[in-house]
Structure 1
């Protein structure tokens, strides 16, 4: 494995010159061989001496042809390796700049340390400054580790090729393998670095040949995830249609139907997934959408996340987590409409130079009514579904920041049971980039002390209508509206906006609650009422 110090000394431009010299030498040798072949053809020399001379020429031609091929091979190998070094060099410079500018030295083995023991900032900003610095440190650690891994991979492969005694077929770099998304700390930053380290041809190859490996990979740029997931949307629908046809054939051929093989249940579930994909496609057809998650394998139902606007460039990003009984097939269109309306409201509150994106995040298996009440994994009476979804949400939020050069103002919105999922995602998550959180109609956040939530002090908001029975249950801890440090949002207007009623009108267009949420998303928290 190469060290960080070794990698910092890599100079692709100098190595590219060496590659060119090899290629030029191969070309010169080839020209010399052609001249020898011409001389051999025109040589009119009979006798033993002439025969010996011709044999020597033929031997010299063969040896030089082998040398030319070897030089050409080495030159191509070095040139292709150089192409893969350029992205590494660019990321190394970014890491070194972050290290120098923020006093976070990187040692030769890639270990990163915080060179500051105290921060010159006011007390009111100390918490946020410490969190931002910890996030930067963790992301730098992840980036450096990924650079070393990638550089070592390239170095090992190139060394193996160059040590070959005989030139094989023309050198072809191995296709990079996208690592599966995980919830390990810092992985989103590692994924972002991994993508930055790829060449353009490698990125294109993955996007075309294996879009499923990057569509849900947190830390990858939003436009890339969108392109990959749109490809998967088409291929998944085609696959599921074939599955449905096969199951229908099985049922028709079986006099007992699905009694003994569950083909009928499988068909029902497959048709449900197809319907969910069709709903997603209809939402995307609205335009200005990004399909950031498409998962047809992790849960019983299809999971997805769709943004209105561009989360990769937006100044303000809101992520909405729905709750009880929410499903992609039945609800994504309605929630997307709420996010579209919220985005328009926020856009009116910010300067024209700032932009907004709002995400409907349905990448967890929300609890359901009916028979699911008796399933401990999906019952609304248990926090298990939220605890299972929280790490996925935390990774998604980290990925939004990691994929960008500058972090957006990030707001997390949770409705009903979704507020518990949101709160658990931020619980103890010291490196999260969430600036504000809003809980709407929450049955509890799983804690009674706001200090356990990784949100800046004074930036946790709660909205609860007077006739919202769910919000009064206290099913998962104290009533959020009664926790010290939580700021309430008005749900009754008395002014230009409509009142919010019940459990499901918090984000309805024109309501005072939607206006207050929009103020939070826009960063104007001092104006909420």
Structure 2
């Protein structure tokens, strides 16, 4: 870039272009939402359990519409990247342009002339030498690059040396204008250099922000999007540093206030550049977290699919003769050691992602509302927090915490329980807005013996407590009030709730800050680490418990096992009268049957009682 180009440059034109891409991205986002929550949901509509539209043609149309929604989502993500890239380019060019304009203004004040090549001419001045005033002249500046610590400049002091030489030259020059002209010329050269660097940095990055020339958004495209995000984020560091970051270790209220204080563009930049961080921030609006987490979801799914595909096929034969017996082949043992654990993890994670996608695709089925992905992480056993309906605007919100053996690969059943709770609650209170959340954001015990320890619940407590606080903060920021909230713990999940009720966060006013929930339900609970509901700060009139089967059932073993190993305070568990809560009627015959419906979709007594609590119909609850 030269002097004339930078002089005529208008950074606002790049910002205008960024605004155009932002508009396109917003339109793509709205189109995606319309396709998923309006068109597909409308096609999935049922009347008396019978689909309004069905058949091969209808299913084929739904498949194509889902692909279209994916295309819109990808467009939204890429447009957000381009918007940030263009704004960052404009930011860097404006900084360079401001440097240039300031240097030219100072030159004019000194009565210097700036040439078309950026050189600076200065007039004669100074004490006479041999009877003549020292003549004027023209100087060309030089820019300083950043220290490189390369062999040619091992001490990284070349710029300092150059500055010292220039000062020395100015001091001995007979014309006092010389030094000032050199300084201004250097500023002009530096501005041109900075603008050139910005142009050379962003031109190739912007060229890479384009999709394939087909209509299919494949895993490779999402993998590219993740790489694009990293490239734009590293290039836009100075621009992004101008945006106020979220409070370090902030509580949900602080997070909500931080988000509220950002401009629309700053919010868009933060979502596109830091989706993983935004998606985890309790207190932010549900639709914001959903947008961020869905981007992470698509990128992680593409990454895991690629890794799974790259694992070599299992060698055959697995066994080879060894005397009169058989042994594992050397090739299989080598493969097993190197790949089996990784393959099992990837498959489990991909199965979980498939279940999440299936829930996305079920929007509209039997009236099921839009899903909000409020948390997602495939590492380890995985993490999923998914809401049916927007909890920020709900009149009634229920949060379901699963128990032992839960992991990402098995999350399908837990997501179905959340959807079942929504359907029955909505049926009981059709005039209200309902949101039911499957909350799996902790390391659940992998085996029943591990569930005898409270350490898993104790570690999970801060996560659950802060999510509930964040849910309350987001709802208050949206509606000005709080929703009626019910927390449901199944099995060890109820132990997690007990520890969350006792958890004192760093920002809590007192140890006994009540759990931000109106009602608590414990289904098949092995104990909540307390002797009485009141010990947890829970009003006994709003503590509910259920049990399944008779003596010797799997549910009985869970409850009595928890009692005997100490998960129940002083061997008291929630279904005991002395715990102080209500014991609801249940017709479940086993530990996992609390959410059953029959072949005619008629809800079980257990499910109906939970739904009555969720919508606040306490008089309708049937007790043992």
| TM-score normalised according to structure 1 size | 0.62
Is 1:307 paired with 2:390?
no
Cα distance change, pair 452–243 in 1 and its aligned pair in 2 (3 A): same
Find the counterpart in structure 2 of residue 502 from structure 1.
590
1:441-491 deviations in Å (ceiling 9; x for gaps): 112111112222133342111112342424641242113122342112122
Find the counterpart in structure 2 of residue 403 from structure 1.
474
Aligned mates of 1:391, 1:177 — CA distance in 2: 26
- Is the 1:390–1:424 Cα contact (8 Å) retained in structure 2? yes
Aligned mates of 2:610, 2:589 — CA distance in 1: 15
- Is the 1:181–1:217 Cα contact (8 Å) retained in structure 2? no
Is 1:189 paired with 2:253?
yes
In structure 2, which of residues 401, 406, 411 is the aligned counterpart of residue 321 of structure 1? 401
SS in 2 for 1:446: coil
- Is the 1:251–1:258 Cα contact (8 Å) retained in structure 2? no
Find the counterpart in structure 1 of residue 489 from structure 2.
414
Is 1:383 paired with 2:454?
yes
- Is the 1:276–1:328 Cα contact (8 Å) retained in structure 2? yes
CA RMSD of aligned residues (A): 4.4
In structure 2, which of residues 297, 301, 306 is the aligned counterpart of residue 242 of structure 1? 306
**Structure 1 position 174, deviation (Å):** 1.2
- Is the 1:29–1:64 Cα contact (8 Å) retained in structure 2? no
Aligned mates of 1:464, 1:261 — CA distance in 2: 43
Find the counterpart in structure 2 of residue 94 from structure 1.
none
Find the counterpart in structure 2 of residue 360 from structure 1.
438
Aligned mates of 1:232, 1:359 — CA distance in 2: 19
Structure 2 gaps of 5+ residues are 1-97, 117-133, 139-174, 191-237, 317-329, 364-369, 505-512, 598-602
SS in 1 for 2:241: coil
- Within 5 Å, give how 1:88-167 maps onto structure 2: none
SS in 2 for 1:367: coil
- Is the 1:438–1:462 Cα contact (8 Å) retained in structure 2? yes
Is 1:451 paired with 2:451?
no
Is 1:512 paired with 2:605?
yes
1:47-95 deviations in Å (ceiling 9; x for gaps): xxxx999999x9999999999999xxxxxxxxxxxxxxxxxxxxxxxxx
Find the counterpart in structure 2 of residue 349 from structure 1.
428
- Is the 1:178–1:214 Cα contact (8 Å) retained in structure 2? no
Aligned residues: 389
Find the counterpart in structure 2 of residue 393 from structure 1.
464
Find the counterpart in structure 1 of residue 278 from structure 2.
214
Greater Rg over alpha carbons, structure: 2
1:123-176 deviations in Å (ceiling 9; x for gaps): xxxxxxxxxxxxxxxxxxxxxxxxxxxxxxxxxxxxxxxxxxxxxxxx845155
Cα distance change, pair 175–231 in 1 and its aligned pair in 2 (3 A): farther
Aligned mates of 2:239, 2:416 — CA distance in 1: 48
Find the counterpart in structure 2 of residue 19 from structure 1.
none
**Structure 1 position 240, deviation (Å):** 1.4
- Within 5 Å, give how 1:6-45 maps onto structure 2: none
Structure 1 gaps of 5+ residues are 1-21, 41-50, 71-170, 492-498
Aligned mates of 2:426, 2:461 — CA distance in 1: 29
Cα distance change, pair 437–69 in 1 and its aligned pair in 2 (3 A): farther
Aligned mates of 2:246, 2:436 — CA distance in 1: 27
In structure 2, which of residues 405, 410, 413 is the aligned counterpart of residue 334 of structure 1? 413
In structure 2, which of residues 363, 366, 376 is the aligned counterpart of residue 294 of structure 1? 376
In structure 1, which of residues 276, 289, 293 is the aligned counterpart of residue 352 of structure 2? 276
**Structure 1 position 199, deviation (Å):** 2.4
- Within 5 Å, give how 1:248-259 maps onto structure 2: 248=312, 255=331, 257-258=333-334
Aligned mates of 2:359, 2:240 — CA distance in 1: 39
| TM-score normalised according to structure 2 size | 0.53
SS in 2 for 1:291: strand
Cα distance change, pair 178–490 in 1 and its aligned pair in 2 (3 A): farther
SS in 2 for 1:523: coil
Stretch of structure 1 that moved more, 437-446 or 338-347: 338-347
SS in 2 for 1:312: coil
Aligned mates of 1:302, 1:219 — CA distance in 2: 22
